[in-house]
Amino acid sequence: MRCPYCSTDNSRVVESRAGDDGNTIRRRRECTNPECARRFTTYERVEQRPLMVIKKDAKREEFSYEKLYRGVMKACEKRPIPAEKVEEVVAGIERSLHLEYEREVPSTVIGEKVMEALRELDGVAYVRFASVYREFRDVETLAQEVLSLLTESSDKGK
């Protein structure tokens, strides 16, 4: 495995363990270049048939774990949410998509799954994502969404 820091094409595995979802293996690696010797993490997962995402304009593109991860991370930016929790959320969404859809999935389904997961994880991250995903046109629509989140939150506390 190539080192992401010095590009040496050799590294050694220091530690391996199964991911939380049971479908990945997390490997801690160390660069064998003595001048670098830095550590990094890689993930190994079973290669699955590509899942195609049907966009709103009916175009299709291949599902991207990295794109989904970046979107969720952006919503969680500057929030007290560990990166591992974000990885769990994204892996869970990816797993459910592969279980529910064989070849193609509408982008709206992905957006709704992300919103559902973020709503459970963190209210601010949820509102951030929802404001972009739902394309709120005005402050009133955003306020309604926040109020529904507050109402739901207070109902849970009872």
Q: What HEC string does 53-122 produce?
A: EECCCCCEEECCHHHHHHHHHHHHCCCCCCHHHHHHHHHHHHHHHHHHCCCEEEHHHHHHHHHHHHHHHC
SS3 41: strand
Domain extent, residue 38, equals 1-47
Arithmetic mean of pLDDT over the chain: 89
Task: Count up the domains in the chain and report the number.
Answer: 2
- Domain match, 138 and 112 both: yes
Least confident segment among 14-23, 63-72, 75-84? 14-23
Look up tokens 């293996």; give the residue: 25
- Domain match, 67 and 139 both: yes
- Domain match, 27 and 104 both: no
- Would you place residue 46 in the very low, low, confident or very high pLDDT band (cuts 50, 70, 90)? confident
27: pLDDT strictly greater than 70: yes
Measure the CA–CA gap between 60 and 104, rounded to whole angstroms.
9
- Domain match, 42 and 65 both: no
Assign residue 88 a region: left if phi > 0, alpha if psi is -120 to 50, beta otherwise?
A: alpha
- Domain match, 13 and 86 both: no
Predicted local distance difference test score (pLDDT) of residue 30 = 97
- Domain match, 79 and 8 both: no
- Domain match, 2 and 31 both: yes
Q: What is the pLDDT of residues 85-121, one digit of tens each?
A: 999 999 999 999 999 998 999 999 999 999 999 989 9
Burial 68-87 (b: 16+ CB within 10 A, else e): bbebbeebbeeeebeeeebb
Global model pTM greater than 0.85 = no
When pLDDT is averaged across residues 18-41 and rounded to a whole number, the result is 89
Residues in the chain: 158
- Domain match, 53 and 126 both: yes
